[in-house]
Structure formats: C-alpha cells, structure tokens
Structure 1
C-alpha cells in the first residue's frame, strides 16, 4: 500500500506543471470573475473602514504572546480590523512531524537555528501559530503554511554553505501532507506557502550558476514562496509565485543596542563595513565572491580615514552600526544582506551595492527615501558620492530612517504585531487570494448566482 501511495505521489508530481486542457473559461467568464473578486474585496474594505474606528474588545496593536483560545480559533472569530485588512484571509498551519522542524530546535544547533540570518523560516512559523488569521479547521483556510526548516540543517563544507538536503526534505513534507490531507492535491499546491530564506531562495542552492541551472523544483512551481532573494527582471529563481521578505535579525539584539546607543545619537564613523572581504578574491569553480566588489572596496578605501572597514567577526558589531552615518551593504554570494536590515533598524543609512536587487515590502518601507544605491561598477566613486550626500541631504534621509514604523516593518517577532515583518507577509498574501480554493468557490458561486438571475 505504501508503495502505491508513493507511486501516486510521484505521478502527481509529474503533473504539477502541466496545463489544464479541460479549461472552458472564456474571456467573458474571466471578466465576470475579476469583477466579482473586485466586488468582494471592496466589500471587505468598506467593512474595514466602517469598523476600524469602533472600540474593539481585542487589541490589534500587539497580539497576545499566549496561544489563542482553541474555542476562539475553532469558531473563526477575528478582530474586525484584522478581518478587514486581510480580506478575511485564514491560514491553516500544518502540524508536521518533528523531523521537519521541531527536532532542529531541540538539537545543539537550536540557538543558531532560531537566530541566524536565515531564521525567518522559524520566526514566521512561530508568529503564524499564535496569529488571529490562523484557523484550526483546514476547510476554512485560504492558504496552507508548510513549516519546513531547511536552513536549520544548513551545513558547511570547506567553508562554503550547503543545502543539498533541501529538495528532498521539502518533497518529503509534500508527500506527507498530500497523503494525509486532500488540500494539496485539489489545487496542486497553488494555495500552499513555503519559506526559502537563504541565498537564492526557491532554487535551493547557494551558488548562482548552479541555482539558475537547476531552477525551482518542479513540485514547488505552483506554490507561494516567501524568499529573501529577489531581483528586478527575469531570473530562474523567481519563476514562481513569491513574496520577497527580509533576512532575520533578532529584535532583542536591536532593542538592546538601541537602549545603549540611541538611533539618533552621536555618529563618529563616516562609512562602516565589517564582514568578509577577500584581499585576493578566490576563484571557486569560476565564481568570485561578491563579484569582487568587496575586494574593490577594500583596495580602494582600506587606507582611507573616512572608511571604517573590518574583515573579522566581532560580536558587538551592532554598536558600530549605531555609530555610523553610512553602512555599506555590498552583495555577497547573493544580492541581499542582513546588513540591510541592521542598518535600517539602527539608523545608519544603508548604501546598497547590489545591481538589480529587489527590496522587501516596498509599500511599507520607502527605500528611495532612506537609502542610497551605488552601482557595482561605481565603487571607485563611492567616497565622492557619500561626501556629496553628507553635505546636502543626509539630515533628510536620516529623519526618514528614524521613523520607527520603518524599523518595525523589517523585524520578525515571536507573534504578529501590527505593521511588523510577519504582518507585511500577511498583507502580501491577502493580495493573492485569487489563488485560494475557498475564495474561488465563493467567486464561482457568485458567478453562478449572477448568471442564473441574469
């Protein structure tokens, strides 16, 4: 029996990316569908506008850290403003066997697992479990969250990260949910959500050429991926429905640094960078780290008194960020960097040196008003660019950067708080409700009613 189930599962995998040849929807039907979706969305929006000013028995500024009442969740009760903002969206969180997630938190690697730059996979899972959009009844769900901790099992071979286990681990999780529940198979995974919080996201490889050649695994191509990787233009690693999320930075570490070094305090460092910088970039099978950008920075500005450049690790480096006016955020293997979030959170103007990078939550974070972008090819002009900004509009940029709402939008907490990073994820998912099986049924029912009455 188990062999037959596995064979069935693998057969299902081969069908994931096939076209639906039985589709009979014409253009008029599609127009009706979009009209109904718009109508329902406007209805929820109107409800939100009307109810948001009424006193609510449940605070939406900070959701309780204690696990919500099972009775409340089972009865699908939501705070009215949350209901309006997220269009009534509900999320079911799969309770996977511990080997997919919890075991890693119990291991000797647990502290790293839940606190390193890839820990968004853990933080989002924790926050969703206590979130008011969570439902314990899967038939009421719009989306299904599959909590697989890929980066907790992040190994290093010869100093280079390796996540070769990722594809098989996620495939095993999909096999589990597809055999235990009917929801994956009915939508071919299009309403299922995963996190890919490492270098090249849903390609699950840390070297770009290999990531691009292997692409997104076939069994994930219909799903929604929350990933730290994002670039403008086409790229094989974003050829899937996805949301760009920030890398994980511990809110506790940020708050501790802010307590001892106020975000708008004295800044005696002009330009700061601490991290991996190769004096002579290593050619690893044709790959140069940071595309030699960091090496160019070190060679050009290593002896420049305006630049505070350090190549070695230092546990208290956030205190250095809090002392700096400009924080360099050059690409590493991938375009994104945790320095981006740390710089914003600690009031240091991020200087983004990563061509074509797509930044997280642009609706909540005014990137153009709080950061600088310098082309990789223009590193030699970096000193002049920073001097010009310091002499002209640095004060205005810092004022924008010190808005606490900007910092909050990039930090994940253990629970969902209004406007924090997981809240922004929920906002993004609520805009994809047309992928929800439940939502589609409501649209179909509305269309049927319209056709029968017309």
Structure 2
C-alpha cells in the first residue's frame, strides 16, 4: 500500500514538474516576443548577455541622433549620444556640403568684421579660431559640482552627477557606457578637431522609424549657393500657406488660448496700434493680452560661454543677442520651475558658435551642426521635457546665415526664430518665426539717430549702397548703377559721395530704400529702412518677412520679384503719391515693433518676437 502511494506521488510530481516547465517556457517565449516587438532591432536579446558583452555598434536600434534616451544601468551615461561621430546622414553627402559651403570663407570674412568686445568676459584662448576646441565644454551643470572621487568615471559636461537623475528618465541600452576603455576613447573624441572627426558610411547606419524616435532625419534637395532659386514662392502663395495652417490646427495647445484668439471679444482697439499694418489688429491684441497673462518660459541654464548665455549686442547679428539678454533677465515670463513652463528657450548664439568653432577656409560647417546636435541630445537626456513633446515646445532664436543648417534634423520640430527665413531651405510658415535682422551700431543706445525727413523733403526716389554679395546685387548694379539720377544705386558708397551725404543721410532722405538679398534671403536693410522711416523695397524671392503671421507687409513696403529688377523704376514711379504717403505713415507706425529697449516696453521688438513664438505654439500643427 505504501509503495502504491509512493508511485502515485512520484507520478504527480513529474506531472507538476512538466506543467511548471511548460508554464516557464510559455512565459519565456512571451517575454522574448514582447522584447522583440517592443524594442528596436538589436536590443531584443541583450538581456541574455552579460553587461561586458553588450557592443556599442553604430547599427544599434537607437542611434545617437535620437534624443529619446533609455537606461541600461543606473548611473551609466553614454557620451556617444552627445558627440560620437559625424555621420553621413547628418552630412547629407560630401558634394552637397561642398556646394553649400562655397561662400563660407567669404561669409566668414564679412562677419569677422562684426566681432565686438565681449562685455565683462575676455575671449578664452582655447577658443581661438586657429586652435582646437574641446567639443564637450559647452555643457556645464550650474546646479551641482562633480566630486573628486568620480574622476574614474566618464565626465559628461552639462549633465548632472549620474545619481541625481530622475528614476523615470532612462538611458538607451544601445548608448550604454562601460569601463575605462570607453572613458579613454571618449576623452580622445573630446579633443578631436571637428574637421578630423571620422565618418561612418551609410551602410553602418540603420535608423528605424519607431515610436520612440524623436529627431527624424530628412534629406533635402541640393541648394545651389550663389545661384537663383529653382522655384519661387510669391507673397500671395505665402499668405495662402499661412491661412491653411491657421485653419487646420484642430487641437488646443495652451489652455483655451486658441479659441479666444480666433474669436476675439476685443471691442476697442488700442490707440497705440495702427490697424492697417496688421492682418487683424483685434486678433493680435487678444493674442498679445493672453500671452502677457498666460505665457511662462523656462530658460535652460546649461551650456558654457561664449556659445551660450553670452549675448552680442552690436553688429549684424544683434537680434539674437538682445533677445537672449532680455529673455534671461526677464521676471514676468521666465519661471524657475520648468514644470510650470509652456515654452522652453535654448539660449545659444549662432554668431558665437561660428566664431568659436568654424575653421577658416575649411568650407565645412558640419562640426557646428554636430555640436548643436550634441547639445540637444544632452538636454533631452537630462530633462524629460524635450521627449515629452518631441521638442515642439522648445525654441531657439538665431540670426546668423548658417542657423538653418546648424539646427537641421535634430531641431526639426522645434520653433526656430531665424533671420534667414528662406522657404527653400526648410523654413516652415506657421511654425517657424521670421526674425528681424537688426544692425545695432550703438549697444548702449540702440535708438540713437532714429527717424528721418518728412515725405515732402525726401528728394531721392530710391537708394542702395553696399557690397555685391550673392548673385542678385550684381544684377541690380548692372541695370541701375549710374544709369538714372533718380535712382541712387551704388556698390560701396564712393568717398566723393559720402563726403557730401553719408549712408545714413541717404536713407533719411530717400522715399524708397532698396533691400536686395545678399548671400541669403535676409538683409538688415529692411529693418534699417524702417528705422530711418524709409519705405523698404524688398527684392528677395522666397523670403518670409518678419512677423509674417501678424503684420501686413503690403501696407508699408514694396515687394518686387527678382525678375522685375529691370522695371524697378517704373514700378516705383507707378505708385501714386497718396499711396506713398500712406505707406510712409505706416512705416512710422510700425517702427515701434522693430526697436530694442534696454528695458522692454509694450509692443517692442522683444515682445513681438516672443509673441510670434507664442502664437506659433498655440496654432502649431502636431504631426501624428
């Protein structure tokens, strides 16, 4: 009897053991399948390997150009997602970069003249243009210091001590950072000059299109520098694009601001505003009021000078510097708690990025773009806010001609306020903001010499003087230089002429100021003409004028197609005197929106830039 019970018990144990093994097997298969379908290729079976066997392959499912970062081990950070290598998909192709940079050395020589003394800060000798720059020195944590006993670990400048990371912020398994071997290779990469950074072929890059991918890589058609655009988008078409954008945004973004802007309840228009210069003055007023009441901005403190937090307040690129200075010092819109912010400002200077990193005569700006890509990825790794929206609530303000290139791909969904507002190189009407290019001569008093003669005393029909940059200005000079006494068209203003009447006096005495494009579509002469109360004549196909979503440029400017340069005088003469008087008055009224003040005032340039960024965010189209 005892033997029979013993046999039955052994049989029952065997059945239960088989059943347990089957259950374990099913669970294991389900887990493997879940890993396979939920994670990118190459990550599914890494949990089966020991840590020291996880390879750092460039073919990993999460490449370094992604800002959605995951953790493999607490306290381990991979700098490969910050610098790594210059990749072929970032570079587009070698021919494209060479073609796109034909005029780089000329542009550098031109902008080099605009470098001003950096107030209160001497230029670091390590940032000399003829010396290598430590690529990672940009990122600096302003809130914590790295302890001496962490010296054995890899130090990623700009990220907090690994232990201070939020447990909810994970690092990418494929970007894990292991051992002293990787520390050594990281330090070597840290000291590489940008022009010597090695490149991986396309075959080594396999970037899957998955839900976690934030920064998409897009290829664009080659741009032919120094040549007319292949296609032209007239101002009428730009108006249609803007109208479609405003009508198609179906989701309220910031509280109920959108509905209040679309259906304003404002009955009395502010007497300080000149209605004709706006598309819809009531809409603008309501949006501006909501911005003042609602908007909160968080300013990232990460990053070292001079590329970050060091505004240039004088010269061609002063717009980005003045905005940076006033935004960082603002107490009404800026919040210290990022969880309360609607927008996030990344305060870099495209001018100082070029000044610090570009190698003269190299005809290669890839290191500038790679630098900004690393900064963006570090921000995404340190804070949860970028990944939360894919960067759609982040913005930059950059005035250098190269800014569209420097922010390509990795800031594709962010709001970019750019002086180089060119539709053909990726400027998006309704998302991006056309930033006015202001040439500030006197940083201590940016309003010095403002204004000009009244219309009755402006005896010059049209005026232009300047360098022959780009393909368009030589055409203008060919048709009009010295051809007509009413058309004061020069190259550089001759000394014999400037002795009698200098450049500023010419603008103050002219009815129309000609503003042709140079190397790029933007020109400081547009704002300069408004400053001296001269009606601007914009000759630049595919240029989106500043604050295009708000202002009615046809009320205070003349927009001429490049092909119509031979008919320029006929176009200007055909404008009735009454119409000119209206436009000149509109120029004087709109002038207040293009002025910098040491302490911002209502409706000034600082508030107009911030309003356009706010307005873009409210009506922003979210790509699914």
TM-score range, shorter chain: 0.5 to 0.7
d(CA) in 2 for partners of 1:298 and 1:327? 14
Gaps of 5+ in 2: 1-73, 85-171, 176-204, 214-248, 274-285
Structure 1 match to 2:575: 389
Compared CA separation, residues 296 and 141, structure 1 to 2 (3 A): same
Find out whether 1:272 has 2:272 as its counterpart.
no
Q: Secondary structure at the match of 2:575?
A: helix
Structure 2 match to 1:310: 490
Query: 8 Å contact 2:430–2:616 — kept in the other structure?
Result: no
Find out whether 1:41 has 2:257 as its counterpart.
yes
Find out whether 1:195 has 2:397 as its counterpart.
yes
**TM-score w.r.t. structure 2 length?**
0.51
Structure 1 match to 2:342: 142
1:41, distance to aligned residue in structure 2 (A): 2.3
Query: 8 Å contact 2:462–2:488 — kept in the other structure?
Result: yes
Give the 5 Å matches for 1:30-429: 34=250, 40-41=256-257, 84-86=290-292, 88-101=294-307, 113-129=312-328, 130-155=330-355, 165-199=367-401, 201-204=403-406, 217-231=408-422, 235-238=425-428, 241-250=431-440, 255-258=447-450, 261-262=452-453, 266-277=457-468, 289-291=469-471, 293-303=472-482, 304-312=484-492, 317-389=503-575, 393-403=579-589, 406-429=590-613
More displaced 10-residue stretch of structure 1: 80-89 or 185-194: 80-89
1:148, distance to aligned residue in structure 2 (A): 0.8
**Higher-helix-fraction structure:** 1
Query: 8 Å contact 1:193–1:223 — kept in the other structure?
Result: yes
- Deviations along 1:342-367, one digit per CA (max 9) or x if unpaired, are 11221111111112321111354331
**Count of aligned positions:** 369
d(CA) in 1 for partners of 2:207 and 2:437? 29
- Deviations along 1:110-150, one digit per CA (max 9) or x if unpaired, are xxx32122222211111212151111111111111011112
Q: Secondary structure at the match of 1:393?
A: helix
d(CA) in 2 for partners of 1:35 and 1:238? 19
1:196, distance to aligned residue in structure 2 (A): 2.8
Query: 8 Å contact 1:270–1:307 — kept in the other structure?
Result: yes
Give the aligned CA root-mean-square deviation in angstroms.
Answer: 4.3
1:82, distance to aligned residue in structure 2 (A): 6.8
d(CA) in 1 for partners of 2:288 and 2:210? 36
Gaps of 5+ in 1: 23-32, 54-59, 62-79, 106-112, 205-215, 278-288, 441-454
d(CA) in 1 for partners of 2:361 and 2:573? 37
d(CA) in 2 for partners of 1:415 and 1:398? 28
**TM-score w.r.t. structure 1 length?**
0.68
- Deviations along 1:258-314, one digit per CA (max 9) or x if unpaired, are 36x45657323221111113xxxxxxxxxxx532x3222222222221122332267
**Higher-strand-fraction structure:** 1
Compared CA separation, residues 16 and 371, structure 1 to 2 (3 A): farther
More displaced 10-residue stretch of structure 1: 310-319 or 189-198: 310-319
Structure 1 match to 2:216: none
Query: 8 Å contact 2:464–2:514 — kept in the other structure?
Result: yes
d(CA) in 2 for partners of 1:333 and 1:81? 35
Q: Secondary structure at the match of 2:305?
A: helix
d(CA) in 1 for partners of 2:402 and 2:441? 24
Query: 8 Å contact 2:81–2:377 — kept in the other structure?
Result: no
More displaced 10-residue stretch of structure 1: 36-45 or 410-419: 36-45
Compared CA separation, residues 88 and 356, structure 1 to 2 (3 A): same
Query: 8 Å contact 2:463–2:507 — kept in the other structure?
Result: yes
Compared CA separation, residues 378 and 115, structure 1 to 2 (3 A): same
Query: 8 Å contact 1:120–1:197 — kept in the other structure?
Result: yes
